[in-house]
Each structure stands twice: as structure tokens, then as C-alpha cells.
Amino acid sequence: MTATAKASRYRIEALAKGLDVLRLFDETTTALKLREICDRTGIPMPTAFRVVATLEEEGFLERLPDGAIRPGVAVLTLGSAALRGSSLVQLSEQPLRRLVEETGETVNLGVLLGDQVLYLVRLRNSDLVTANIQVGSTLPAAYTSMGKLLLAYLSDDELNATLATHDFERDAGPNAARSPDELRERLVLIREQGYSLQDQEVAAGLRSVSVPVFGRGAKPAAAINIAVASSRHGLDSLRGPMLERLRATADDISRRLRAI
């Protein structure tokens, strides 16, 4: 019996449908009507009604006054527990806090999630322009220093698959890559130099520098960055002392990861 067959044998369809519903919600989709849930999952209306009602009763979904449905507090509790239990997050917290103390700037740790960067740690300086980003938020990988850094380590096939549905005109800052070819040129340089710069590609007024964090594999387990306001730091500043401190922090976290 194949692994797929074994998995199918023990699959609970009702639970799978509930998870399909929960996966619909993300940074850009915060609430949906029941009909939209049916359309996006293919679950029949009567079944979707029961799934949503069950999740609502257990606190994983909640209903707004207009009938729309959004994630409930129980989802947040699970997410918080998962982050607290993550070895990557636990092992990186102390080095990242030390980096914040040394630089006085915003520090982030993220991983690649499809064509997005998922923020697992964010220690924010109060004057940074992207104040709406927090732990659990995502941003397009093609525009962020951490995202570009992680994309640079993908094979050509992996990169093509990751960017297959990415819209290069959406949510882009003034200096963002406007095509796959332009992005690939930037990724080649990033891989060669071992770090990634972001110069107002996410949003006007924001710069950052990122380096990889490695576990025992050949590809990065995550990326960390220092994000600054462009009014206070130029690119030379990011390539100099900031990058040196960032690399030292990444080396520290990498050693901790390889030790477990």
C-alpha cells in the first residue's frame, strides 16, 4: 500500500473540509460570506453550513452582524501556541533581541510560504513606515529583502512554480521588479553576494537588508532582516555595520539550529 493510499484510508473528510474553510482566510481575505466559502472550496451549501456552524460553535469562526464569517479567537490561540512551540522562533528570540539593542532598528525573521514571506518574529521600531505588519503577516516575497533572499536559493523549476501566479503590478513599491526576468536578475546577484537589499520595493520610505539562517540543510531555514526608514539610512549604511551585525546574528541562530 502506498503512502498516499495509507493517508486516504485514515482521512476524515469532515475535518478536511473544516481545514479547507480555515485556509481561505489570510492577510487579504479576512471575512467571507457563506456563498463565497462554497464557491472557493467547492463544498455544497448544506455541508458548508454545517462545517461553518461547527467551527463557529467551537470558537474557530465568528459571524459578523452582516452575516460575513471571519476567524475566531480560537484560531489565534492555536497560532500563538504554534509560534511559541517553534524551535526556530525560540532559538532566534534572544539573538534577535540583542540585535535590536545594538541597532535600535526593526528586526524580523521570516520564512517562505508560496510566493509570500510569513513573518514569524517582528521586533519593531516605532517610526517604521510598515506599522501594520506583525507576527503572522505576509508580504509578497518578490518585493521584500527576506523574500528575495529565500527565492534566490530556489531551483529554476521551484522559482517558476512559486512565481506562477504572482502579479508584478500588485502591492508593489516604487522600485520593485516589474517582471519575472527583472526579478531573476536581482536574485542572481543576491545569491552571489549572500545578502539581499530592499530599497523602497515594498513601500516608499522603507529599506532593509537580509541574510539567510541555515539549519542542517543546504537551503536556508529562514531569513532575518533589519528594516529602516530611508530618511535615516542609505544603502551604504545597510551594506556596512548593519550587515556585519546581521550576519553575526544569523551565524548565532544557525549554530543554535544545527545543535538541536
pLDDT at 65: 87
Instruction: Answer yes or no: do 48 and 137 share one domain.
Output: no
Residues 134, 97, 125, 232, Cα dihedral to 10°: -130
Q: Which of 25, 55, 77 is a domain's end point? A: 77
Instruction: Answer yes or no: do 104 and 22 share one domain.
Output: no
pLDDT at 18 over 80: yes
pLDDT at 129 over 70: no
Instruction: Answer yes or no: do 69 and 194 share one domain.
Output: no
Other beta carbons less than 10 A from residue 215's beta carbon: 19
Q: How confident is the model at residue 1 (pLDDT cuts 50, 70, 90)?
A: very low
- CATH code (residue 61): 1.10.10.10
> CA-CA distance, 171 to 117, in Å (whole number)?
14
pLDDT at 105: 92
Contact 165, 134 (CB under 8 A): no
Instruction: Answer yes or no: do 18 and 116 share one domain.
Output: no
Q: How confident is the model at residue 152 (pLDDT cuts 50, 70, 90)?
A: very high
Instruction: Answer yes or no: do 53 and 158 share one domain.
Output: no
| Coil/strand/helix, residue 205 | coil
Instruction: Answer yes or no: do 251 and 175 share one domain.
Output: yes
Q: How confident is the model at residue 233 (pLDDT cuts 50, 70, 90)?
A: confident
Mean pLDDT value of segment 158-165: 91
Strand order in the sheet with 138-140: 138-140, 116-123, 106-113, 220-229, 206-214, 196-199
Mean pLDDT value of segment 208-221: 93
- CATH code (residue 206): 3.30.450.40
Instruction: Answer yes or no: do 152 and 219 share one domain.
Output: yes
Q: How confident is the model at residue 7 (pLDDT cuts 50, 70, 90)?
A: low
Average predicted confidence (pLDDT) for the chain: 87
Instruction: Answer yes or no: do 100 and 27 share one domain.
Output: no
pLDDT at 82: 57
Contacts of 86 (CB under 8 A, 6+ apart): 120
pLDDT at 232 over 90: no
Kindly report, residue by residue over 53-63, the tens digit of the pLDDT: 999 998 889 99
Mean pLDDT value of segment 183-187: 96
Q: Which of 77, 97, 113 is a domain's end point? A: 77
Q: How confident is the model at residue 79 (pLDDT cuts 50, 70, 90)?
A: low
Contact 177, 201 (CB under 8 A): yes
Alpha helices in the chain (DSSP H): 3-9, 13-22, 34-41, 45-57, 73-85, 87-103, 145-151, 156-162, 180-193, 235-237, 243-258
pLDDT at 32: 95
Instruction: Answer yes or no: do 40 and 106 share one domain.
Output: no
Domain count, the chain: 2
Instruction: Answer yes or no: do 38 and 145 share one domain.
Output: no
Residue 229 backbone class (left: φ over 0; alpha: ψ -120 to 50; beta: rest): beta
pLDDT at 237: 87
Mean pLDDT value of segment 208-223: 94
Instruction: Answer yes or no: do 43 and 140 share one domain.
Output: no
Instruction: Answer yes or no: do 109 and 47 share one domain.
Output: no
Contact 117, 151 (CB under 8 A): no
pLDDT at 201 over 90: yes
The pLDDT > 70 percentage for the chain reads 89
Q: Which of 77, 105, 122 is a domain's end point? A: 77
Please give the residue range of the domain that contains residue 53: 3-77
pLDDT at 36 over 90: yes
Kindly report, residue by residue over 89-102, the tens digit of the pLDDT: 888 999 999 999 99
